[in-house]
Structure 1
Amino acid sequence: MADRYLEYLSREHARLEDKIRQESKRPRPDEVLIARLKKLKLALKDQMQSWAGTRPSPDRLTA
């Protein structure tokens, strides 16, 4: 379940990166939109790190 959620977050992160790239290529990019997309992308990255940190690592020894 957590793997699927992390995959979803990763896809959304990539989608936002693509939107930022597309908007930046426009002759007059919307800087407010770009800033909003970057904040969303950063929030997704934080969420991915949080979810990855809560998952048990396969190399950790369990009691």
Structure 2
Amino acid sequence: MDSEVINRRIELLRQEHRDLDSAIDALLSANAVDQLQVARIKKRKLRLKDEIALLEDMLIPDIIA
């Protein structure tokens, strides 16, 4: 994969991660909090974080010492 494509994908994933933060904040500020929905969003955030880390690792060249 081209580094430009990877960087763009990382930015999109980071934006989605921020959007999920906003969604969690909105749910928690509502009177009726759906804990199951909050848990699902948090799980999605963790998957996004893992995917971002994987893509960032792809950008770092392997250095053979």
Q: TM exceeds 0.5?
A: yes
Shorter-chain TM-score category? 0.7 to 0.9
Q: In the alignment, which residue of structure 2 is the partner of 1:24?
A: 28
Q: Which 5+ residue runs of structure 2 have no aligned equivalent? A: none
Q: Normalized against structure 1, the TM-score is what?
A: 0.86
Q: Which 5+ residue runs of structure 1 have no aligned equivalent? A: none
Q: Which portions of structure 1, spanning 4 or more consecutive aligned residues, are displaced by more than 2 angstroms?
A: none
Deviations 1:5-46 (A, max 9, x none): 000000000011110110011112110000000000010001
RMSD between aligned residues? 1.8
Aligned length: 60
Percent identity of the aligned residues? 29
Q: Normalized against structure 2, the TM-score is what?
A: 0.83
Q: Does 1:5 align with 2:9?
A: yes
